[in-house]
């Protein structure tokens, strides 16, 4: 039985994330998204944060090296709810209460937050 209540979209995008380690050191990781929804994402990576960890997550929807100098990214704080190690593939699922969609270029930037009141 499917327990998810959000539509997931298959999307392979670069992701970077950071979290506090057991010794209070800041740990960094990178990977690729498998899928994404309004509530979270699954990230393929060799550096999995533990279940329950709070991660600062950035998902790049457009390449940072684009010839136009423009980037689009999702920025959020999320909680790791599942870690998978199977068949040589590793990754984690994280959920978030809100996110910010950032549009940046060499000259200007603007953002849209999922929690902003219109």
Token representation of residue 87: 């068949």
Q: Is the pLDDT of residue 95 over 90?
A: yes
Burial environment of residue 2 by CB neighbours within 10 A (0 to 12, 13 to 18, 19 or more): exposed
Token representation of residue 49: 């944060």
pLDDT band at 109 (very low <50, low <70, confident <90, very high): confident
User: How does the average pLDDT of the chain come out, rounded?
Assistant: 85
pLDDT band at 114 (very low <50, low <70, confident <90, very high): confident
Question: How does pLDDT run across 27-55, given as a tens digit for each residue?
Answer: 999 999 999 998 899 999 999 999 999 99
Top-level CATH class of 9-113? mainly beta
């Amino acid at each position: 039985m499917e327990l998810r209540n959000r539509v997931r979209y298959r999307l392979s995008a670069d992701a970077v994330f950071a979290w506090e380690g057991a010794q209070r050191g800041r740990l960094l990781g990178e990977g690729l998204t498998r899928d994404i929804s309004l509530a979270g994402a699954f990230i393929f990576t060799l550096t999995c944060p533990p279940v329950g960890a709070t991660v600062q997550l950035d998902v790049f929807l457009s390449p940072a090296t684009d010839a136009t100098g423009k980037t689009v990214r999702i920025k959020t704080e999320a909680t790791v709810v599942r870690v998978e190690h199977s068949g040589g593939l590793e990754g984690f699922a994280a959920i978030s209460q809100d996110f910010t969609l950032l549009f940046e270029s060499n000259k200007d930037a603007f953002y849209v937050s999922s929690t902003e009141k219109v």
